[in-house]
Structure 1
Amino acid sequence: MTLAITNDIRAAANRALMAGSADYFSWSPDAQERFRATAGMEVRHRIEQILLKEILGIDCSVQDAADVWRNLSLEQLNQVNPADLLTQGIGEDFVFLNESLSEGVSLLDFETLYDYDHDDFLFQEKWRHRELKNYISPGYFPLHHPRWIRLVMNNELVYGNLYSLAGYVVDRVSESGDDKLDELIPSTYVQGPNHGKPEKGGMLWDYRLDAGGQEAQLEEVRRRWWQYQQDVELALHRELAAEPPQAYISRDKSLVPGEINVNFVMQNEKAMHRVRWRSFLGDMQVIEGSLKNIESLVACETEKAHSFMEHQYRDVMDNFIPPDIKPGKKRKLVMSPGALDDLQRLSSDDAGDKE
């Protein structure tokens, strides 16, 4: 299966847009784009009804379209998503941002990546200052959290991850560091005695950390490792701020056959100013840097991280005294049977991947 934007996909999307508004093709390109970006729920349900019929052969009412869509399998979603993107995306690449926006706000209200990201930063900062005691802001750095986007690239639907370079490097280093920690203190999660027991319409989730008696030491190294990652990411942001505005496009591995996953990595705030949502790929390519720069930085930071991990491991094993913690009030985590089944399936899949 591929996620190509074929003529049939375009035709299905056009019919769905006509269901959204019979006047769609009488409008200017700008008006059509605004309609796609700002369509309300009622319009979206009419569009979804047509896409379900045209792409998947599923007949349903407009009222039922949202529920049917929610229950589609991953394979079905990948079949319908290329046409769906053509009914929602903006600009030359039909970019769609997988983020909740305030009512009455669309991606068209933000010209550049910076405009959106900085606006979101200010919103989050208000919450942090209000809710977090003694919070000290580090200031604005781009893409504190990765963003998920969809777009058309080389006439195919692409699932994109939008990263800052600092965040991307730390993400890569984190994976390697976690593996290193597992070598130093092997651990797993084992089922507790109450796992899967019925509880108030759901089932108890009871898994416990098993590190061969070194659970407290493992948790302490994990705590230090987490703080190290936060410090390194902030330091990288500050170092990269003075660098030229560059962007990187890197194909990512996909666990789903036919899916195309791409990482779009922004070096710094300057790069965020240079890339506009409505000309996303073209602007990225103008400032595109060599992926060798990323790999060199990842290798350097990975070496530092492993050295840090080994030092902290030795320090904890030699000097750390586990606190004498009295048992506190136990908290129950109750999950729906379906969610529990999904987690168990994912756990089995992960185990199979490691064999």
Structure 2
Amino acid sequence: MTEHDTGPDSHVGSHPVDRGERRVASLPPVIATGALVERFNRLCTRSGGPFPGRGPNEVVTAVVRVLRELQTQVGEIPADERTRHQLGDVLGVLIVAIEKLLDEVASTVFRETPTQTAGKPQPDRLGRLRPAIDRVSRSKNSKSNSAAGHQDLPAEDRRAEELHDGALAAARTALESLEKAFSRAPQPPEVRIRPWHEDTSLMTLAQDLVAAAQRHSADLAWAAIGQLRTALRRQGIQIVRYDTELAPEEQARLFTFHGPGDGPSPQFEELTPAFTVQAENGAPHLVVRGEVRCSSLPAGAQEDEPRGEGTGDIPS
């Protein structure tokens, strides 16, 4: 039971933390590996076959359509809402960048007509998309050369297809980097341990306790203890008292037990209470474990009757 909250949830804590030991739980990855790229690949292969378009507008429309559809599927990725919003925003920026790049490159690729380019060496007009297009072209040539009866199309007739495939390959590379960044487990924030001397409230409380000890004043000591309870309550810290009615797993989570407790009539004495605090997700988080002394009665001994309920006693 807690001194500030007697509800059943007040007994629930996180995994125990040893006294004086600071532990920071590792954080899970924000998204799973493949969450973006696998969806993108499925969207790219849905149409199948070579790109049927012939002009720059068709290339831009086809590439942007795939990326837009991927953006709509972000809501299906297993992640928290904030992460999905961030992914959607980053994909929006990527779409604008790809669209602008295609507009610039396409105007160069399709500047001359096929009759003007026939028989002339072609300059590298694909710029930043060239490495991706080269990879796609090598892969397609190695597969197509093994097919019987294959005839290469004129280079000018494949400009739209190469630009389309190269743009998708460049987008895939960007998505791989984006996915890698989001699937990396974030580092937990470093917690700065505040020196006691910087905490004025703590120092004032310590001053009152020292004064009570020096003057051997029980009144001052109890007044300081009352101030401490108030300070803990203001900080959202709950004092959890040991209760035999707690579920066994809750007892093990909140308290450390000393001595044998497997006798016929074990006795439990709370040495120190447990402290918990409400975490950001609303669940109580264990701050420090309480301690309980266990003892067993000798064989044939009987337990003491509760105070005020024995023969001749008057209940208070």
What TM-score do the two structures reach when normalised by structure 1?
Answer: 0.22
- Greater RCO (Cα-Cα under 8 Å, separation 6 or more): 2
User: Which one has the largest radius of gyration?
Assistant: 2
Higher helix share: 1
State TM-score, norm by structure 2.
0.24
